Structure 1
Amino acid sequence: MKAPRFWYRPPGVASALLSPAAALWTAIATRRQVRATPYRCGVPVICVGNLVAGGAGKTPVVRELVRRMAARGPAAASLSRGHGGRLPGPLPVDPQHHIAADVGDEPLLLSRHGPAWIGRDRADAARAMTLAGIGAIILDDGFQNPGLHKDLSLVVVDGGSGFGNGRVIPAGPLREPVAAGLARAQALVLMGDGAGAADAHAAAHGAGIPVLTASLRPDPVAARTLQGKRLLAFAGIGRPAKFFDTLRQIGAEPVETLSFADHHPYSRGEITELLARATARGLLPVTTEKDAMRLPVDLREAITILPVTVAFDEPAALDRLLDGLGGVRMNGQS
């Protein structure tokens, strides 16, 4: 589903009417956290989560953390729930055999850059991963899931949208109150700048945790290919407008833009029609790397993909947080 527009506007009638439901949501979520006994798997578990429903840029951060942890020694892998996939796991994702309908689009994308697992039960999945020799687990989402103990939790916040109207679902986009969420985090990752950045800094300051500023950077080769091109751009991610803005920033011209719900499963008919529209208007079809995972495989090559990576403004600050995991067992060593 697409996020309601009022979630990202000053609180009004709609959010006020939904406040009782939001209070119930908050009470249930709080009770779940308090009553849980998280499973400790014995290897470092780093959670990359967010406080709002929808995208904030978590997946590139997960990918970067898998790379950084692997460089430190332990066999690192990501762990996702597998949203949108039919397989419950736990299992390692094989990009040669699995498709998004099997394991979800984000795990499939992560598996193309490093070891990736899925498991609807995070504790069971972590247990299976450690038995398979994984020495560090990067949890993709799952910040609100209390079943697995986290040794380090990073909350990713989009600098443009921030915390929306500041209300909890369904009155707003928050999965839980900001203060309650940041009380369990060790750092806030602020992705880009924008209207929500000041609120993010203030919230982190109030929680006494550092802010790691970062940005998404388009692949330079793909960006040069798109410069000056007239595009039919489409995306089914948390904030499609952010992708369209990125295209403009690299010097492309998105003549037509199509927004779909996050994780939208593209049908063959939709993509065939989209390609026909692009051809009729003389436009180059382009989408995100995450969306590409949900395209019919034989039509994927007809669409240009713009991959992105995350760049931290102060990577040493992130490394200091990872250094703090030194007391957690890695690869069976104390």
Structure 2
Amino acid sequence: MTFFYNLWYSNSLQYKLISLMLYPFSLLWIIIDKLKFLMTKPYTSHLKIICVGNINVGGTGKTPISIFIFKILKKMGHNPIFLTSGYKGKISKPCIANNDVILFGDEAIILKNIGPTVVSKNKLEGVKYIENLNSKRKIYDIIVMDDGLQNYSIGKDLCFLTVDRKSLFGNEFCLPSGPLRQSLNSCKKNINKIILTGNRNFKKNHNILKKDILNSYIKVDKVSVKKKYLAFSGLGNNVKFFDTLKSANYNIALTKEFEDHHNYKENEIADLIKLANENNLKLITTEKDIVKIPKKYHLKINCLKMKIEFDKQDLISLKSLLKNKLND
């Protein structure tokens, strides 16, 4: 992933030239995406559907934002349910998630710990599965869809685009010459609001899509700088996790990166513990990673608990938007 990260986000002339060489393939990607949009008739559910997604490959904080919105809806008196694809999980048909991370994937377990969660590789089948759950007795009134902006088979009532305020859209090209799964012009037509995510330290606020922006931030507990850590993660954007730790004054002596949604083997955990002990370091990882590590190791590994907070006025705007759209 390091090569592609540099290709998409670096200002190096070398990477810019490689990106331009790949651009014809990006045009093909855009054409295919446009054809998918034109040839797909979206299904309209009787349930309200809120989609929290991104267009960048890698992490932009959509899952924490999905959770934040879910909690707001609960406080408003709604009965929402999560819908996620269960990426890298082995479940084949729509199903309510339990604690089996191998079956449902890490994101589903995190969501399931907050509220009821349906996992479905096919999001449209997932929507119909939830509707069927409601057929005998109305249980849920809103579906919070974690990811799915590029899924044109489902009509959505409200769409949020999460964007990391440090990385933004990289070189603004579609795959493979850039990090985007959808062109910026195409995306602009399908979203209601942009939610900037990440650390306060990064002040970039480039609104290329000319859409209203809501500012969210990661909040973590402060710790003593005397403690030194070995930080490890298997995310779409591991650097973002390490930056978050450093911005909160965690003394990070070593880092170890794994591929996105990595399923840890026992020997890998043993090696991490050994490396930390040899260097007199404490281990720290993410909530997404800790659910894939056997519980017998949890006492030896710190898990960073991250909270999302919004600027006061932006939080008011978010709540107002949810209230107005859901009452249409």
Fold in common (TM above 0.5):
yes
Shift of residue 326, structure 1, vs aligned partner: 3.2
- Distance across 2 between alignment mates of 1:125 and 1:76: 14
Q: Which residue of 1 aligns with 2:163?
A: 157
2:65 pairs with 1:67? no
Alignment RMSD (CA, Å): 1.7
Shift of residue 73, structure 1, vs aligned partner: 2.3
**Unaligned regions of 5+ residues in structure 2, if any?**
134-138
Q: Which residue of 1 aligns with 2:253?
A: 255
Q: Which residue of 1 aligns with 2:127?
A: 126
- Distance across 1 between alignment mates of 2:277 and 2:249: 21
Q: Deviations over 1:178-209 (max 9, x none)?
A: 1210211000001145778333x2x232xxx3
Q: Which residue of 2 aligns with 1:143?
A: 149
- Distance across 2 between alignment mates of 1:194 and 1:181: 27
Aligned mate of 2:50, from 46, 57, 62: 46
- Distance across 1 between alignment mates of 2:294 and 2:153: 35
- Distance across 1 between alignment mates of 2:195 and 2:202: 16
Per the alignment, in what secondary structure is the counterpart of residue 109 of structure 1? helix
Q: Deviations over 1:101-131 (max 9, x none)?
A: 2111111111112222111111111111133
**Unaligned regions of 5+ residues in structure 1, if any?**
329-334
- Conserved in 2, the CA contact under 8 Å of 1:230 and 1:253? yes
- Distance across 2 between alignment mates of 1:17 and 1:4: 16
Q: Which residue of 2 aligns with 1:323?
A: 323
Runs of 4+ in 1 over 4 A off after TM superposition: 193-196
What pairs up with 1:306-321 in 2 under 5 angstroms? 306-313=304-311, 314-321=314-321
Q: Which residue of 2 aligns with 1:7?
A: 8
Aligned mate of 2:219, from 217, 221, 226: 217
Percent of residue pairs identical: 29
- Conserved in 2, the CA contact under 8 Å of 1:45 and 1:137? yes
- Distance across 2 between alignment mates of 1:144 and 1:71: 29
- Distance across 2 between alignment mates of 1:67 and 1:157: 21
Aligned amino acid, residue 164 of structure 1: G
What pairs up with 1:73-88 in 2 under 5 angstroms? 73-88=77-92
Aligned amino acid, residue 185 of structure 2: A
Q: Deviations over 1:76-118 (max 9, x none)?
A: 11111110100023111123xx12x211111111111222211
Aligned mate of 1:235, from 233, 236, 239: 233
- Conserved in 2, the CA contact under 8 Å of 1:228 and 1:251? no
What pairs up with 1:174-323 in 2 under 5 angstroms? 174-192=180-198, 197-199=204-206, 201=207, 203-205=208-210, 209-218=211-220, 220=221, 223-224=222-223, 227-313=225-311, 314-323=314-323
- Conserved in 1, the CA contact under 8 Å of 2:82 and 2:144? yes
Q: Which residue of 1 aligns with 2:136?
A: none
Shift of residue 273, structure 1, vs aligned partner: 0.6
- Distance across 2 between alignment mates of 1:291 and 1:227: 24
Shift of residue 19, structure 1, vs aligned partner: 0.7
Q: Which residue of 2 aligns with 1:332?
A: none
Distance 1:21 1:194, change over 3 A: farther
Q: Deviations over 1:37-64 (max 9, x none)?
A: 1112211111001111110011100001
What is the number of equivalent residue pairs in this alignment? Answer: 316
Q: Which moved more, 1:47-56 or 1:36-45?
A: 36-45
Aligned mate of 1:170, from 156, 173, 176: 176
Shift of residue 248, structure 1, vs aligned partner: 2.0
Distance 1:227 1:39, change over 3 A: farther
Per the alignment, in what secondary structure is the counterpart of residue 218 of structure 2? strand
Per the alignment, in what secondary structure is the counterpart of residue 209 of structure 2? helix
- Distance across 2 between alignment mates of 1:134 and 1:90: 16
- Distance across 2 between alignment mates of 1:22 and 1:297: 43
- Distance across 1 between alignment mates of 2:225 and 2:74: 34
